Amino acid sequence: MVCVIGGGVGTASAYPIARAFTEIGTKVISIIGARSANLLLLENEMRNVSHELVITTDDGTKGIKGFVSEALKNLVEHGYKFDVVYAIGPTVMMRSVAETTRPFGLKTIVSLNPIMVDGMGMCGACRVTVNGVTKFACVDGPEFDAHKVDFKELMERQRGYLAEEKMSLQLLEERRCSCGH
């Protein structure tokens, strides 16, 4: 039995994983979450490829109020025996899932999505430390053993581009306003 977790837009990447496991006859329990109900993605699609679907929202507007990691912990504490947990979503969510599964000894795979500039590992923007070794998400991943990822370093690196991301968003919004869309 596997647990496939999608947080926010990570659900779009979680969906084909859940579908593939279901197609080969594996029992799939999926958990999807978002900040609020209007931000949930692919709910019906995930339901169709899962034996069970648990929904969480940070604000409680749909499903369980709380985080996907809390829903996962509840399932494990109620006797669900997962062979592997896949988690795809915001880095902070994947870190939380890793810390939730660690005490239970559950194999956990995360799909990292740091900024990837060239897709060949040359630029180094997507580098991440895994088990003390520098890896590049674009060529060595994007899937890694969650218990070996240095999430603290990864999150610090991702914050390094905040100014550029804010400027890019501001320029986009200004263009939208000037063209009336």
pLDDT at 36: 97
Q: How far is the C-alpha of 67 from the C-alpha of 178, rounded, in Å?
A: 38
Q: With a cut of 90, say whether residue 37 has pLDDT above it.
A: yes
pLDDT at 110: 98
Alpha helices in the chain (DSSP H): 11-23, 43-48, 68-77, 91-101, 137-140, 151-159, 162-179
Q: How far is the C-alpha of 145 from the C-alpha of 158, rounded, in Å?
A: 19
Q: Which residue has the tokens 């939730």?
A: 100
Q: List the CATH number of the domain containing 103.
A: 3.40.50.80
Task: For 108-150, write each residue's pLDDT tens digit.
Answer: 999 998 777 778 888 888 899 999 999 999 999 999 999 999 9
Q: With a cut of 80, say whether residue 181 has pLDDT above it.
A: no
Q: Which helix (H) or strand (E) holds 33?
A: strand 28-34
Whole-structure pTM over 0.75, yes or no?
yes
Count up the domains in the chain and report the number. 1
Helix/strand/coil for 36: coil
Q: What is the sign, positive or negative, of the torsion defined by CA atoms of 135, 139, 145, 150? A: positive
pLDDT at 137: 94
Task: For 56-99, write each residue's pLDDT tens digit.
Answer: 999 999 999 999 999 999 999 999 999 999 999 999 999 999 99
pLDDT at 164: 84
Q: How far is the C-alpha of 138 from the C-alpha of 118, rounded, in Å?
A: 8
Task: For 18-29, write each residue's pLDDT tens digit.
Answer: 999 999 999 999
Q: How far is the C-alpha of 63 from the C-alpha of 58, rounded, in Å?
A: 10
pLDDT at 180: 64
Q: Which residue has the tokens 């940070």?
A: 58
In sequence order, what are the residues at sequence separation of 6 or more whose Cβ sits closer than 8 angstroms to the Cβ of residue 107?
Answer: 83, 84, 85, 101, 145
Mean pLDDT over 30-58 rounds to 98
Asked if 127 contacts 134 with a C-beta cutoff of 8 angstroms, the reply is yes
pLDDT at 87: 98
Instruction: Quote the domain boundaries for residue 147.
Output: 2-179
Mean pLDDT over 148-154 rounds to 96
